[in-house]
Structure 1
């Protein structure tokens, strides 16, 4: 018995949908592709999920929850603040490599279905993630391990520096004359450069009480 055959029909649909959506994104995926991958007829697939959008939202919520749970585990784990920031950056970029359409889908949902998308993000405990990050930063500042910085600006910069290359991927490919393989190599370099940039920025200041705006450095 194969792995897919051992699962319930709904589990098979979810696994198949996850595979197809990660490969093709929302626009490129078809219900027929998902039905074929799950080894089901299309009518049965539509019985469980009327549209591919409904199915995508379910997979989207699952992936988002797993992603933010991973980030939360990084913040709760061992290591210095700069180590954790480096891991956050790496985890976010790896998630975008695994699901290239994720960032564009989130932006599209935020612009078209703002309240619905925000509700999904709340389920993933995004506020809790930021509160934990802010508390960790404040503790490190108090211990003198990092300079005093604005927590929300730093957090947004971590997210944006990790996300922008994927949002602007066609521009990046054209600007640097890259193919897919070269883009993945670039992302690995970007991970290291971004981590080093923020590590250098967070170095404790020699002037007590000095608080700089990260936007002056990035």
Structure 2
């Protein structure tokens, strides 16, 4: 049983790496088998098709990203604390899976309907309406300035996600190694939070 679990985990880890690097269309089962250190026949024994393996890997990555965000949006913490917590979570999650944004963008270009369907119907899809209503309530109280809740969400996502998409450029232009880049992303949590909250000042 231990061997089975270990082999399955090797396959899952390998599939994550290959799919993140090459996307669904570019990945081959042989690539995944080679990365996992097993033969292709054994890979097919566990997962008969590339599509099924992709669904499992993508669903797991999506749920990990969305679950905490949903908990933040539906929690009882003050609105501004939710903004800070969301920024922290996005950057922490993407630091752990830095290829995820490019992977999602590539898949959106290849098969937008499939990816959108996965997002919208994900079990942990965030309660965006609740978050937006809280923002409108804060505006009515005069606690934050009036602006489109959708603009706030797009601004927050863009500020968190872009550095991971642009990592090769940032690292090379500024001569950063991986450790320096990680430190930059840790610093960015505070920087983005302060930037967003400043934009909300009445």
Calculate the TM-score normalised by the size of structure 2: 0.84
Q: CA RMSD in A?
A: 2.5
- The residue aligned with 1:181 is 179
Instruction: Tell me, in whole angstroms, the C-alpha distance in 2 between the residues paired with 1:175 and 1:93.
Output: 21
Unaligned runs of 5+ in 2: none
Name whichever of 184-193 and 128-137 sits farther off. 128-137
- Map 1:1-218 to 2 at 5 A: 5=2, 9=4, 15-21=9-15, 25-27=20-22, 30-34=32-36, 36=37, 42-52=40-50, 54-124=52-122, 129-203=127-201, 205=202
Instruction: Tell me, in whole angstroms, the C-alpha distance in 2 between the residues paired with 1:99 and 1:58.
Output: 16
- Contact 2:33-2:39 at 8 Å conserved across structures: no
Instruction: Tell me, in whole angstroms, the C-alpha distance in 2 between the residues paired with 1:134 and 1:127.
Output: 15
SS at structure 2 position matched to 1:30:
helix
Instruction: Tell me, in whole angstroms, the C-alpha distance in 2 between the residues paired with 1:109 and 1:147.
Output: 36
How far the C-alpha of 1:152 sits from its partner, in A, is 0.5
Calculate the TM-score normalised by the size of structure 1: 0.78
Size of the aligned set, in residue pairs, is: 194
Name whichever of 119-128 and 82-91 sits farther off. 119-128
- Contact 2:15-2:53 at 8 Å conserved across structures: no
- Contact 1:26-1:56 at 8 Å conserved across structures: no
Instruction: Tell me, in whole angstroms, the C-alpha distance in 2 between the residues paired with 1:21 and 1:145.
Output: 46
Instruction: Tell me, in whole angstroms, the C-alpha distance in 2 between the residues paired with 1:185 and 1:116.
Output: 35
CA 1:146 to 1:125, structure 2 compared with 1: closer, same or farther past 3 Å? farther
How far the C-alpha of 1:32 sits from its partner, in A, is 3.0
How far the C-alpha of 1:134 sits from its partner, in A, is 0.8
Unaligned runs of 5+ in 1: 206-218
